[in-house]
Structure 1
């Protein structure tokens, strides 16, 4: 049974961010009751077997449940409520202008009507939510409303994973939006309000999100997963530099092309490119992306400035940080008020 009411549900007093990725699961937990005084209580990753999750969703629930169970056991967490991520490829978001004086009921009707026209499946099969994100730029009397929708089966599979451990999923967020939350808090105010690109580099592929004024203005899936790179580096020991250079040029070129497309579609030019995900720390990638795009490029540091509880290894955190950007953003939802 679906026990998650919305994508934008109010957070819980104590809540863990759980990111079920294509090749691994990640968990982040904060302590405290305010974001600006929060402490990082736990951050970890657990690998998934090949084939546990496919392009269309979870293929082997048992393997995913076992991986999350191992992660939870190692953490020692007593928290029972979690925020989960919905893959961006399995979710649909739109920004719709609505009258400033419209009621919640009128907004719900507009969201449903709009969703019916863009969803590739019946509205009855979707989990739909909406929220007002601010006034419509250059249009007095209008408000921008963010609509988010995903197929119920995609959400329920992830809820089934949490329920197998006796946990309760109380918040769902789209993975790129959660990662944006984590990254934006570490950027200076001048950068946060400007446009920047977030590239989430996973083992099997990548997602480039163009972020403008705190919102996702456009996204592109990229076929630049570094799984093949790992295999090639093991196979061609003598030519590792050549293998790495070929991958870097390939990845940077795809990022540059996707960024150019999104810039033309949205008229937004990013001041920075932020690399996240487990592939963000590949040696030479920052420099290669900068060369191909001429845009300032850096690796995500979602835990920058966060106090750490005793026992957290700063060296491991520096390695795990970029991969756990989405889980960090999910965990921060506990501070929504």
Structure 2
């Protein structure tokens, strides 16, 4: 199974994160998309650790429940491997190669970049277009991941009732979904966007220019820090703490004593990630910050980022312009949208 292959069957996008299975299915009429089905199903603690599946049965169970709750009848899925498990490289290739020659050449080149035996790797490539200033060469995106990373995800989906038709890379899925957000941003041509995806245990910074990723970096920080603090302070189990964060019902002191310090720390982490980017590039500012992931919906986070980092900041909603199917609850979707970037990017693979 390729990492970037195209698909012609209706696909449900399945994002297996550290805390939940997120599932989205879209349809399209003309240029308009419609959200047909979606669900977020929590995972038991430590079923997925740092994006690696540890308990395959627990993940498969969550996939099955998400599928049932969403009402989707899809049989095929698009999933993604985490950026940390994938090697991506843009390599120049002669433009006049046919598909077969290109494939052999890419495999040959890949062995220069991949630190594992080639037979232990799932490999794919996509031709991005002509090399700037050289019409005889094309730029080819090479993506490679250890086969076990791909196979574990495919097996979890299969046990949950779905055949993995497409295996993508999380960063590329986010890039795909970002196209739905970018038109609402007031960006100068060639402007830089810092897309910050705050997951449970990892915050990922993607710097995008004209919709393409220039830079990516992960930091070990995320919503789990907030969950841990809620558990510690209010004596709750992991499951109850996750639920309380999402649905409310915590003491009044929560907002001031727990949530505000967490927001402060999160904004500092974003600032630190940006400093790493500036230090290693010719840039010293970005034009826009877009917050995604479960923590992006925390009230007042975007405002705090503007205040402390001095950069216009918005919360990502890749579904803002879409119509909704009969089973989809608008108010729930509004709250969950920032956490669905990867799942939406995967669901878009139906229309390649």
TM over 0.5: yes
Q: Could you say which residue in structure 1 is the equivalent of 2:130?
A: 135
1:203 aligns with 2:200: yes
Query: Partners of 1:264 and 1:114 in 2: how far apart?
Result: 30
8 A Cα contact 2:180 2:319, kept in partner:
no
1:141/1:188 Cα in 2 relative to 1: closer, same or farther (>3 Å)? same
Q: How does 1:205-284 map to 2 (within 5 A)?
A: 205-233=202-230, 235=233, 238=253, 240-267=255-282, 269-284=285-300
Q: Given that residues 81 and 169 in structure 1 are in contact (C-alpha distance below 8 angstroms), is that contact kept between their aligned partners in structure 2?
A: yes
Distance 2:160 2:195 in 1: 32
TM-score, with normalisation over the residues of structure 1? 0.90
CA shift for structure 1 position 96: 1.5
Change in CA separation of 1:194 and 1:171 when aligned onto 2, cut-off 3 Å = farther
Aligned residues: 331
Distance 2:144 2:338 in 1: 26
CA RMSD of aligned residues (A): 2.2
- From 102, 117, 122, the counterpart of 2:117: 122
Question: In the alignment, which of 287, 312, 324 is matched to residue 303 of structure 2?
Answer: 287
Residues 266 and 136 of structure 1: CA distance in aligned 2, closer, same or farther (over 3 Å):
farther
How much does 1:144 deviate? 1.7
Conserved? CA contact 1:94–1:148, under 8 Å? yes
- Tell whether 2:318 aligns with 1:302: yes
Which string of whole-angstrom CA distances, capped at 9 and with x for unpartnered residues, describes residues 252-309 of structure 1?
Answer: 2221222232244344553211111111112332123223432211111010111111
1:215-241 CA-partner distances (Å, limit 9, x unpaired): 221111112212122332451764641
Question: Which deviates more from structure 2 when the two are superposed, residues 25-34 or residues 299-308?
Answer: 25-34
- TM-score w.r.t. the length of structure 2 is 0.86
Once the two structures are superposed, residues 30-84 of structure 1 have per-residue CA deviations (whole angstroms, 9 ceiling, x without a partner) of 12465x2332101210000001011361110010011111111112221111111
Q: Structure 1, unaligned stretches of length 5 or more?
A: none
Single out whichever of 22-31 and 230-239 deviates more from structure 2. Answer: 230-239
Q: 1:187 — aligned with what?
A: 182
Q: Which runs of 5+ in 2 are unaligned?
A: 235-250
